[in-house]
Structure 1
Amino acid sequence: MIIDDFLVLNENGLYCRTGKFYLDPVKPVTHAVISHAHGDHAVKGNDTVYCTAPTEAIMRHRYQKNAGNDFINYSFNTPFVLGGVKITFIPAGHIIGSAQVLMEYENVRYLYTGDYKLQDDPTCEKMEFVPADVLITETTFADPAVQHPDAGEEIRKLNDFNHNVLLGSYSLGKAQRLISLITEHCPQRSVLVHHSILPLNKIYESFGYHPGKYELYTRKSMKQAGQNLVYIVPPLTFDSYIRAKNVVRAFASGWKRLQVNNGLELLISDHVDWNDILYMMGQVKPKEVWTLHGNGKYLREHFINQIPVKLLNAC
Structure 2
Amino acid sequence: MILDDFVHFNANGLYCPYGDFYLDPQQPVKTAVISHAHGDHAVSGNNEIFCTESTRQFMHIRYGKNAGKVFNIAGYQQKFKVGKVDITFIPAGHILGSAQILMEYEGISYLYTGDFKLQTDATCEPYEFAQADVLITESTFARPENLHPDPVEEIKKLNDIKINILLGAYGLGKSQRIIQLINAHAPQKKVLVHHRIMPLCKVYEDADFKLGRYELYNRKAMKQQDEYVYIVPPFTFDSYFNAVGVKRLFASGWQHLQVNSQDTLVISDHADWNDILLVIERMQPKQVWTLHGEGKYLATHFRNSIFVKTLG
- TMscore range, shorter length: over 0.9
Distance 1:260 1:241 in 2: 12
Distance 1:60 1:233 in 2: 21
Give the counterpart letter for 2:2 in structure 1: I
- Does the 8 A contact of 2:89 with 2:100 survive in 1? yes
Q: Which residue of 1 aligns with 2:229?
A: 230
Deviations for 1:265-311, whole angstroms, at most 9, x for unmatched residues?
00000000000000111222111000010111110111112111010
Deviations for 1:197-227, whole angstroms, at most 9, x for unmatched residues?
00000111111112221011111111112x1
Deviations for 1:97-155, whole angstroms, at most 9, x for unmatched residues?
00000001111110000000100111000100111100000000000011000000000
Distance 1:179 1:260 in 2: 20
Distance 1:99 1:158 in 2: 31
- How far did residue 230 of structure 1 move? 0.5
Distance 2:83 2:163 in 1: 56
- How far did residue 61 of structure 1 move? 1.1
- Does the 8 A contact of 2:35 with 2:100 survive in 1? yes
Give the counterpart letter for 1:279 in structure 2: L
Are 1:284 and 2:298 matched, yes or no?
Answer: no
Are 1:168 and 2:168 matched, yes or no?
Answer: yes
Q: Which residue of 2 aligns with 1:184?
A: 184
User: SS in structure 1 opposite 2:281?
Assistant: helix
Range that drifts further, 253-262 or 56-65: 253-262
Q: Which residue of 2 aligns with 1:298?
A: 297
- Does the 8 A contact of 1:250 with 1:262 survive in 2? no
Give the counterpart letter for 1:157 in structure 2: K
- Does the 8 A contact of 2:249 with 2:259 survive in 1? no
User: SS in structure 2 opposite 1:58?
Assistant: helix
User: SS in structure 1 opposite 2:264?
Assistant: strand
Are 1:149 and 2:141 matched, yes or no?
Answer: no
Q: Runs ≥4 in structure 1, deviation > 4 angstroms? A: none
Q: Which residue of 2 aligns with 1:61?
A: 61
Give the counterpart letter for 2:42 in structure 1: A
Are 1:250 and 2:249 matched, yes or no?
Answer: yes
Q: Which residue of 1 aligns with 2:159?
A: 159
Are 1:312 and 2:311 matched, yes or no?
Answer: yes
- How far did residue 262 of structure 1 move? 6.1
Q: Which residue of 2 aligns with 1:24?
A: 24
Distance 1:161 1:178 in 2: 16
Deviations for 1:135-187, whole angstroms, at most 9, x for unmatched residues?
00000000001100000000000111321111000000000000010000001
Give the counterpart letter for 2:13 in structure 1: G
Gaps of 5+ in 1: none
Counterparts of 1:62-101 in structure 2 under 5 Å?
Answer: 62-101=62-101
User: SS in structure 2 opposite 1:97?
Assistant: coil
Q: Which residue of 1 aligns with 2:264?
A: 265
- Does the 8 A contact of 2:248 with 2:259 survive in 1? no
Distance 2:132 2:256 in 1: 35
Q: Which residue of 1 aligns with 2:2?
A: 2
Distance 2:161 2:80 in 1: 52
CA RMSD of superposed structures (Å): 0.9
User: SS in structure 2 opposite 1:271?
Assistant: coil
Q: Which residue of 1 aligns with 2:46?
A: 46
- How far did residue 264 of structure 1 move? 1.9
Distance 2:188 2:278 in 1: 36
Q: Which residue of 1 aligns with 2:212?
A: 212
The percentage of counterpart residues that share the same residue type is: 61
TM-score by length of 2: 0.98
Are 1:110 and 2:110 matched, yes or no?
Answer: yes
Aligned length: 312
Gaps of 5+ in 2: none
Distance 1:3 1:288 in 2: 11
Give the counterpart letter for 1:306 in structure 2: S
TM-score by length of 1: 0.98
Distance 2:249 2:292 in 1: 25
Q: Which residue of 1 aligns with 2:138?
A: 138
